[in-house]
Structure 1
Amino acid sequence: MANHLYQYSILSALMNGICREGTTVAKLLTHGDHGLGTISGLNGEIIIVDKEVYHFLPDGNLREVEPTDIIPFAMITRFEPTLTKQPITLNMSTISKELSPLLPASQNSFLSIRVDALFTRVTFRVIPAQSEARESLSELAKRQELHHATHSRGVLVGFWSPGFTSGFSVAGFHLHFLSDDRAQGGHVMEFDAEDVVLRAAAINEYNVEFPASGEFQDEPIGEVLAKDLHAAEGQ
């Protein structure tokens, strides 16, 4: 179903270091063609564009994905935009305004977002793998690798999540970058873009699959403060 959001696991699980087990790439792709996530052990960033899955490692290299690769967290949809705009420029400060009328008209729904552009500057990170079991996303973020691209054509894919979903997702924007030459990609921190095509859609159906694994169910997942989630996600 188009513009229906499927999510595997929750960000609070990653914040508690629960990220070794999960679904597979093959199963994930039955739910859509546009999304983002991570891989077992938080070893890098996953970007899903036009039903192709890209896995960038902490050193910045692209790794070929296998259908059996384990995905402990992901968000994915069948993307059919209902809004298309071509602003002259775009950045993190202006994207909310450019998403009008979806924001604020759909501010309590999810938005799926795609930005095709010439990125004059984009900063993105790739999370390193856990060095021990249950190492949290917050700890890993302290030693994340930051990467930069300038004058690079590429695409941003991701979502805007309403505030009440904090803990399940991260409230606000969660975007991943992929260069057109597929040489660079990761979790977006900042960007400036021109020659922009911005596409988006409101999502009113949201399905979360909780892992049935012992890792997920062994102990209670504690409350995660929004400020800690935003810090771990670089917002």
Structure 2
Amino acid sequence: MAVNEVYQYSIVSALMDGVASHGTPIARVLEHGDHGLGTFRNMVGEMIVLDGDVYQMKADGSVVHVDPATTVTPFATVTRFRPTVTIRGAVTGKAGLKDLLTRLIPKARNHFLIVRMDGVFRRVNVRTAGGQLTPREGMVDVCARQTTHTFEGVKGTIVGFRCPGYVMGVNVAGDHFHFIAEDRKRGGHILEFETDGDVDIAAAQMSQFRLELPTEDDEFNEAELKLQAQGIKAVEG
């Protein structure tokens, strides 16, 4: 794929319906991008793809560098990231980032954005999911057992996407970000954050979107895949 095109494997509504027993090798996903987010088989932990490396952030607080050739994902979104906008600035919370991105790229309301932030963060609140207890357990129930962590004065990287409202259920409408510390020992799905002064912020607007759906997967074939917008908003924070 060309730079700044979105590649996505499966859809968020499938996770909501508990479709997570199978998937595709992460190595195949990396053929399409070097930055992104996702989860792992049975929704065990949070995925962050950073400069082509893949990390699994688990509910016990540990982080594992993943071998993409031997690990499977039931859902992932990636892009071959090349920034078109770069600045240094301070950001207070998701709302502050939303306002900043709207100012930086004002004509992207109905497009995808990829965002990366590097620097020191005064506070980062994250959650990590421990995984399904039974096959087909939905994401709402999985995330009801999620573990939350707060990191203070931590240097690291935030990566994520802003997706337009009309893709809710296919992806997560709005802002969806994951964090990993510079030492690669802490991280998770961001609930809230605040930078400690200025950080490096890079972003790109994207208008090309490629979706690949699971094949030969009975769970996916049998799932209702009805839009559960409120449930997605609840679990994604």
- Judge same fold: TM > 0.5, yes or no: yes
Report the CA distance shift for 1:151/1:58 in structure 2 as closer, same or farther (over 3 A): same
Distance 1:90 1:198 in 2: 13
Work out whether residues 42 and 131 of structure 2, in 8 Å CA contact, stay in contact via their aligned partners in 1.
Answer: yes
Structure 1 stretches of at least 4 aligned residues deviating more than 6 Å after TM superposition: none
Match for residue 65 of structure 1? 66
Determine if contact 1:97/1:103 at 8 Å carries over to the other structure. Answer: no
For the 8 Å contact 2:18–2:136, the answer to whether it is kept is yes
- Larger deviation: 212-221 or 115-124? 212-221
**1:88 Cα offset (Å):** 3.1
8 Å Cα contact 1:120/1:152 also seen in 2: yes
Choose which of 204, 224, 232 in structure 2 pairs with 1:221: 224
Alignment of 1:174 onto 2:176: yes
Do structure 1's residue 40 and structure 2's residue 41 form an aligned pair? yes
In structure 2, the CA distance between the partners of 1:90 and 1:53, relative to structure 1 (3 Å rule), is same
- Trace 1:143-154 onto structure 2 (pairs within 5 A): 143-154=145-156
- Distance in 2 between residues matched to 1:215 and 1:58, nearest whole Å: 28
Deviations 1:151-172 (A, max 9, x none): 0011100100000000011110
Deviation, 1:22, is 0.8
Distance 1:220 1:177 in 2: 31
Q: Write out aligned runs for 1:1-235 (5 A).
A: 1-66=2-67, 67-101=69-103, 103-193=105-195, 194-234=197-237
Given the two structures, how large is their TM-score scaled by the length of structure 2?
A: 0.95
Alpha carbons of structure 1 residues 63 and 88: separation in structure 2 relative to 1, 3 Å: closer
8 Å CA contact 1:18, 1:215 repeated in 2: no
- 1:225: Cα distance to partner? 2.8
User: 3-state DSSP class of the match of 2:226?
Assistant: coil
1:142-201 Cα offsets, whole Å, 9 max, x none, are 110001100001110010000000001111001000101111011000000122111100
Q: 3-state SS of the aligned residue for 2:222?
A: coil
Identity %: 39
The RMSD of aligned alpha carbons is 1.3
Secondary structure in structure 2 of the residue aligned to 1:20:
coil
